[in-house]
Amino acid sequence: MAEHPFALGLAPRSDRTESFVASGAADIARLKPVQPVTLLRPHAARAAARFFVEKFPGKSLYAVKANPSPDLLRVLWDGGVTHYDVASIGEVRLVSETLPDATLCFMHPVKAVEAIAEAYHGHGVRTFSLDSLEELDKIVSACATDGVAASDLNLLVRVRVSSEHSKLSLASKFGADPSELKALLMAARQASDALGLCFHVGSQAMTPAAYAEAMNRVRDAIVEAAVTVDIVDVGGGFPSSYPGMEPPPLEAYFAVIHESFEKLPISYSAELWCEPGRALCAEYASVLVRVEKRRGDELYINDGAYGTLFDAAHIGWRFPVRLVRDEDSDTRPHSFSFYGPTCDDLDHMVGPFELPGDVGPGDYIEIGMLGAYGSAMRTRFNGFGSANGWSVVVTDAPMASLYGDVAAPSRSNVVTL
C-alpha cells in the first residue's frame, strides 16, 4: 500500500486515479483516510434485485429517491430490474440518460405541468400517479398533442392508507380520502388506457399485516366505484434489517400481498406492482469514519447529520456499527453517541451505538446499511463533504442482510477511487 501515499486524503483529486483490490473496511482503514469513505457492495444490490425479480409475485419498480447513483441503477438493471419509480423531472432525466431502455413511472402524486409534459413527450413516460381531480386534469392537459388527449396513459390513483405498522409515516401528505375515491376512479378510468390503484404503507413496515390492511382499502374502493382495474401497486415500505428493527422474512410480505391480490375484484389480466427502495439498496453501501475525539461516551467522528447520517440524527435511526482494527478488541461493549464534524449542535446522533469500550481518537468505525438515503442526503454544509467523496468497491458481505449469504465477486475485481 506504500505506493498510494495520497490515497483517500482530504479531498478527491480530479487529476489522479488510484486502483487496488479491497476485500473490506480493514483494507481501507490501513491507508489512514482523512475523510469518510463510502464502501460500495454491488454484489449485495444485485442479490437484492434478483430476490425481488424472482420472488415477488409481480413487477418490481426501484424507487430512485432511495439512492439515485447511476452506478447503482446499472447494477439493479443487470440484476433484472427494468422499471423505475421516479418522483421528479430530475430523476426522469437521470434514469432516461443512464438506462435508455428502462420503463419510467412518474409516481409523485403532485407534479408540475411542465414536468409531466417533458416526461411524456420527451422521455416516453406513460405511467403517472395522482390523488386528486386537479392532478388528473393536469396530466390529461400536459400529455395532449395538438389538443387531442393521449390514449396510452397508465393512471394510478393513490389511496391514503395507515402507516401505523411502519417506522416512518407516509400517511399524511398524499393519498385520496375514501370519500373522494369513487369520483376520482371513474374520471381516471375515462382518461386512461390502464387504470390502477396504488398506496404506500410507510417506510420500514415491520409486519406484512400493513399490506393486508391496505389491500382491504383497495378492495373497498374498487367495489364502490365499480370500475375495471388493470394495475394494483402496493408501493414501497419493504424493510431492511437494523439494530432493534429485525423484520420477518420478505417472503412473508410477498405471500400476504399475493393472497390479498388474488381476492380483489379486478381484471383477470391485472398486474401486481411494488416499489422497493430501501430493500433494494440499503445493503449496497456502508461508510468508514474516523474518530477525532472522545468525550466520555460521546465520539466525535468525521461524518454526521449533514453527511450520510441524516436519519441517525433527525429521526433517531440506529445503524449497525463495528470497530475496524487489525486486532480485535477484547474490551466489553459500551453504548456511545456520535457527534459529526460540523459546528452545529444538531449534528448529533444519539444512538446508542454499541462499540468496544476502548475506542478512541484515530480509530476507524464502519457504519452499515447506508445504501438507502445515506448518500442521497449528503451535503457540503460547513465545508465538509464533497460532491461524491471517496467511494471504494469492497467484496465482503454487508453488515446485515435479508438475502442470506450474499456471494461476492472474485477478488480479481479492481476498485477505482
Q: What is the CATH number of the domain that holds 122?
A: 3.20.20.10
Task: Report the pLDDT value the prediction gives residue 410, as an integer from 0 to 100.
Answer: 55
Residue 170 above 50 pLDDT? yes
Highest average pLDDT, of 163-167, 335-339, 373-377, comes from 335-339
Look up residue 307 and give its three cell numbers. Answer: 453527511
- Say whether both 134 and 266 belong to one domain: yes
Please indicate, yes or no, whether residues 233 and 349 belong to a single structural domain of this protein: no
Q: What is the mean pLDDT of the chain?
A: 89
**Domain end call among 276, 296, 311:** 276
Q: What is the pLDDT of residue 291?
A: 97
Same domain, 145 and 269: yes
The answer to whether residue 384 is domain-embedded is yes
**Residue 310 within a domain:** yes
Q: Are residues 247 and 300 in the same domain?
A: no
Average pLDDT over residues 247-262: 96
Among candidate residues 276, 308, 333, the one where a domain is terminated: 276
Which of 105, 198, 274, 343 is flagged as catalytic? 343
- Answer yes or no: is pLDDT of 110 > 50: yes
In a domain, 91, yes or no: no
pLDDT (mean) for 334-359: 93
On whether both 138 and 257 belong to a single domain, the answer is yes
**Domains of the chain: total:** 2
Residues 321 and 344 in one domain: yes
Confidence of residue 23 (pLDDT cuts 50, 70, 90): confident
Confirm whether 31 is domain-assigned: yes
**Chain segment 145-164, per-residue pLDDT in tens:** 999 999 999 999 999 987 77
- Shared domain for 292 and 267, answered yes or no, is no
Same domain, 295 and 186: no
Domain that holds residue 333: 19-41+285-416
Residue 48 lies in a domain: no
Whether residues 406 and 309 fall in one domain:
yes
pLDDT of 298? 95
Residue 318: its pLDDT value, please?
93
pLDDT tens sequence across 196-208: 999 999 888 999 9
Q: Is the domain of 239 the same as that of 366?
A: no
Q: Which pLDDT band holds residue 406 (cuts at 50, 70, 90)?
A: low
Does residue 345 sit within a domain? yes
| 274 included as an active-site residue | no
Tell me: do 334 and 268 sit in the same domain: no
* 81 part of a folded domain: no
CATH code of the domain containing 404: 2.40.37.10
Structural domain ending residue among the three candidates 254, 276, 298: 276
